A and B are shown apart, each in its own frame.
Chain A
């Protein structure tokens, strides 16, 4: 067999593949490891898609997506987050936020260009950078600083080779958020360096206590910002695979070129569903957000009571507790918890080396599951302590 592409060959298969395979194949597991909403897509959204099939809307759309959907997306960003984009030439509908990530790096990077990535971070950024010939450079985030990006760390990471920074707030896996004030401190550094700011805002609607802020809302750097967002988390539409990119017209044009050759256009039924979501789905977002916030309160309270230090995150449906008090590594903790108590969570190390000492817990599940899972985690932790004391 002839050798395949070296970058692909050298992509590290996730170190926790074994754990994932075991968890996904075990019976009777209660999972706090799921990276998607437990809610079904609201019924009226599903109906809109079902009707579209019957109406024969089964063809390609414009490469960028239907104009109706792009107009609604731009209106949505304007009304909710106060930033303006032109639906004609600054918006692009993608196959999930994931395609958006890929398009950004393919479009921006030349071989050897550096991209600043936060550690811990969502798992897809690093491979996308590598496959586009770029080089990831890491900034470590800490629980003490609520997993926020600080200006001094940003400054220190920027080199003449830096092309872009990849942000994801509210953050998977940490639940960390950035407020307007937090971003304001970074803006001069962004402005001076001129680097692109890729902002994955997929959890924007899952912001609690306070308003979500996009870096694009700062006029002086707006042209440097590329917004990635989508329908998966806000509207519980993960399986529909629909996202979008918002950025200046020139970048958008270049990314649309890539998109038109690799994708053609995002699925038509999903676009029609998304139109319905934006037109009539505000209420659904608010209901789901309220529910996530309540679950967050419950799980943070229970985990802290067990002695696993957990910040109360202001966004997403994840918490990222510190498990170092147990004396186990992240991987050991997760594997033993799964084997002994049949509770699945994700080791922090899945999200970068600085995820060590943490686990990612998803509370996109029922109160009852959260209660049972926390009871079993409590048992697990106290058994570990007893063992430690017996030594």
Chain B
């Protein structure tokens, strides 16, 4: 059972409680709890994360890069076998099969540039059926999960008059 409205709301604000959701959607609270539990069990809801502005925090703990990976599809398995090997590394934050010159794009995180480079050359590039990699380091983050994080944008204050007619 997929409750699309619940997903829509939680995707934007994971802190909404079942009680909040039931009031917002005018639904029974027990039913909302049940739907959420079911979607968690079905791995439709896979986690609840925090959107962090890395321009402001963890600046020296985190280096991010997008790695484009070219791979040879395997007979009967297509790309999935190789993809699962790459995605299995904890350094890989997100990964997609894409169109274009390469086959996968992975967001890889490490502490330093060196660490990321080492991961790409020692781990990803060595996987059988991986044919090429291209590493694109992130210089600055402007938007994440729908939230603007660029300079000046993340501090956006409500500039409306506190009270007006």
Contact = CB atoms under 8 A, between A and B. Distances in A.
Contacts of A297: 23-26
A302 B20 CA distance: 10
Q: Is the interface of B mostly helix, strand, loop or mixed?
A: loop
> A122, A367, A368: which has the most chain B beta carbons within 10 Å?
A367
Interface in A68-118: none
A294 B5 CA distance: 11
Interface in A34-56: 34-36, 38
B163 interface: yes
Among B16, B23, B25, the most chain A Cβ lie within 10 Å of the Cβ of B23
B25 A294 contact: yes
A301 B163 CA distance: 23
Contact of B20 (A20, A35, A172, A371): A371
Contact of A34 (B13, B24, B25, B161): B161
Interface in B112-165: 158, 160-165
Given A294-B25, A298-B20, A298-B24, A368 B163 contact: no
B16 A367 contact: yes
Given A367-B13, A367-B16, A368-B13, A122 B24 contact: no
A367 B14 CA distance: 12
Contacts of B160: 31, 34, 36, 38
Given A38-B158, A367-B16, A20 B163 contact: yes
Interface in B1-43: 9, 13, 15-16, 20, 23-26
A184 interface: no
A341 to B, nearest CB: 14
A31 B163 contact: yes
A33 to B, nearest CB: 4
Given A294-B24, A297-B24, A367-B20, A36 B13 contact: no
Contacts of A124: 165
B164 A33 contact: yes
Nearest to B16: A367
Contacts of B158: 31, 38, 365
A35 B25 contact: no
Nearest to A33: B163
Interface stretch (A21-29, A155-163, A270-278): A21-29
A364 to B, nearest CB: 9
Given A298-B20, A301-B23, A367-B13, A344 B163 contact: yes
B165 A123 contact: yes
B23 A34 contact: no
Interface string A9-32: 000000000011001101001010
Interface string A264-305: 000000000000000000000000000000110110011000
A172 B24 contact: no
B46 to A, nearest CB: 23
Contact of A35 (B15, B16, B26, B165): B165
A308 interface: no
A218 B10 CA distance: 43
B14 to A, nearest CB: 12
B56 to A, nearest CB: 20
A302 to B, nearest CB: 7
A346 interface: yes
A350 interface: yes
B162 A122 contact: no
B24 A31 contact: no
Nearest to B19: A301
Interface string A348-362: 001000000000000
B163 A298 contact: no
Nearest to A172: B165
Interface of A: 19-20, 23-24, 26, 29, 31, 33-36, 38, 122-124, 172, 294-295, 297-298, 301-302, 344, 346, 350, 365, 367-368, 371
16 contacts: A20-B163, A26-B162, A29-B162, A33-B163, A34-B161, A34-B164, A35-B163, A35-B164, A35-B165, A294-B24, A297-B24, A298-B20, A298-B24, A302-B23, A346-B165, A367-B24
Given A20-B163, A34-B164, A298-B23, 12 more contacts: A23-B162, A24-B163, A33-B164, A34-B162, A35-B163, A36-B160, A36-B164, A124-B165, A294-B25, A301-B23, A344-B162, A346-B165
